[in-house]
Amino acid sequence: MSKLIYLDNAATTKVADSVVDAMLPYFKEYYGNASSIYQLGAKSKEALDESREYIAGTLGAKANEIYFTAGGSESDNWAIKATADAYAQKGKHIITSAIEHHAVLHTCEYLEKHGYEVTYVGVDENGVIKLDELKAAIRPDTILISVMFANNEIGTIQPIKEIGEIAKEHDILFHTDAVQAYAQVPINVDEMHIDMLSASGHKLNGPKGIGFLYIRKGIKIRSFVHGGQQERGRRAGTENIPGIVGLAAAAKRSFSMLEEKMQKEIELRDYLISRIEAEIPYCRLNGDRKKRLPNNVNFSFQFIEGESMLILLDNKGIAASSGSACTSGSLDPSHVLLAIGLPHEIAHGSLRLTLSEENTKEEMDYVVEQLVAIMERLRSMSPLYEDFMKKQK
């Protein structure tokens, strides 16, 4: 295959043509500032309001509960830091999970240096949060529970509704990082008792640099960026109208084909998993087999080093990753794989393949064929594999 097979959609996605078309007029034709009173600005304000209204509807939320941000990391930072600030009188204890994205973990570490206590709840071998441990961690001074909707590395979907019920029962705010889940699986903030939710445009064939934070009405979260009165006084800065229009267009595109897209990705995902398990020995599927994102495949392969595998796949026109794009520069094994109990040497040989509705069964066949050859090549050079095979004999 001469064309690129792109299997890193959890890192970022290609902006869809319909999204680009929706954005273009707001760069050159309707470029007015949404805060101005003349007609050109009014056109931008109209696009802003319509986008907010549509996105709110996808979550069962109200338009005045959606705040546009620069992306998932900002939304996570805002939800956690602003809650800590606003509710410090009630308490300084936060609960999160051991497998969160670094946008949550590093924000919690920052707060720990500023007098807050954070409990990192463990997960089982499939990456599902331990609800008993979560309940046991709750204290009178707990002000926030922040647990991701679905894991960005291993794809496991958390029992969000149950976590929301626990939080509500104890009068604790509940935030979820839904960057990987929004527009990939159905979400209703009321049914799931979610108080705050983070999402990002570039994970759903929208542009980079745009996201939103849902904040339930009545929650006293303070401003994160100070300046003008944009976003109802809670986030200053001239609104990124082309980005916001692009985010709404990407959401419309995704939700218009959600069931069909999920079905196609699940079929391809399960086909790819079954072939890898059947044809490559000494591999382990990471993440829950059923409760996982429709497009996520994550394996650990023994006796190989992940980076070499990625380079060899790239040479064959396959774009993949070993985990989160935000940590790909790190030599440490994934904190997610360590949290589910993998030893360092196996965690180092991990591969994440994240599909889109554009991928085909033929591409999956090609990927498996290349993986089989790559595994044989890398293992033939591994002294550990050689020793292991001698012992087997």
Phi first, then psi: give them for residue 145, nearest 5 degrees. -115, 125
pLDDT tens track for 236-262: 999 999 999 999 999 999 999 999 999
Phi-psi region of 237 (alpha: psi -120 to 50; beta: other; left: phi over 0): left
In the numeric block, which tokens belong to residue 329?
A: 């520069």
Q: Which of 67, 58, 10, 52 is nearest to 292 (CA)?
A: 10
pLDDT confidence of 331, banded at 50, 70, 90?
low
Q: For residue 221, what pLDDT is reported? A: 87
Per-residue pLDDT, averaged over 328-334, amounts to 69
Q: Output the average pLDDT for the chain.
A: 95
Query: How far, in Å, CA of 340 to CA of 212, rounded?
Result: 30
Structural contact between residues 63 and 52, judged by C-beta atoms closer than 8 angstroms = yes
pLDDT tens track for 136-175: 999 999 999 999 999 999 999 999 999 999 999 999 999 9
Query: How far, in Å, CA of 57 to CA of 188, rounded?
Result: 9
Q: For residue 326, what pLDDT is reported? A: 53
Contacts of 262 (CB under 8 A, 6+ apart): 184, 185, 294
Instruction: Indicate if 326 belongs to the active site.
Output: yes
Q: For residue 392, what pLDDT is reported? A: 85
**Sequence letter at residue 81:** K
Query: How far, in Å, CA of 334 to CA of 102, rounded?
Result: 11
Q: For residue 325, what pLDDT is reported? A: 52
pLDDT tens track for 201-241: 999 999 999 999 999 999 988 888 999 999 999 999 999 99
Q: Which of 247, 252, 241, 208 is nearest to 25 (CA)?
A: 241
| CB-side neighbour CA atoms (13 Å) of 131 | 10
Please report, in angstroms and rounded to a whole number, the separation of the first and last CA atoms in the chain: 38
pLDDT tens track for 56-68: 999 999 999 999 9
Reported in sequence order, the residue ranges of the chain that DSSP labels E, i.e. its strands, are 5-6, 66-69, 93-97, 117-121, 142-146, 173-177, 196-200, 211-215, 283-285, 296-301, 318-319, 350-354
Per-residue pLDDT, averaged over 273-301, amounts to 97
Per-residue pLDDT, averaged over 317-339, amounts to 79
Query: How far, in Å, CA of 298 to CA of 130, rounded?
Result: 21
Q: For residue 34, what pLDDT is reported? A: 95
Question: Is 324's pLDDT higher than 70?
Answer: no
Contacts of 14 (CB under 8 A, 6+ apart): 6, 205, 356
Q: For residue 210, what pLDDT is reported? A: 98
pLDDT tens track for 9-41: 999 999 999 999 999 999 999 999 999 999 999
Per-residue pLDDT, averaged over 333-342, amounts to 95
**pTM (two decimals):** 0.96
Per-residue pLDDT, averaged over 262-268, amounts to 98
Residue of 262, 326, 338, 372 marked catalytic: 326
Q: How far is CA 47 from CA 32, 36, 44, 261, 380, in A?
A: 11, 14, 5, 27, 58
pLDDT tens track for 174-205: 999 999 999 999 999 999 999 999 999 999 99
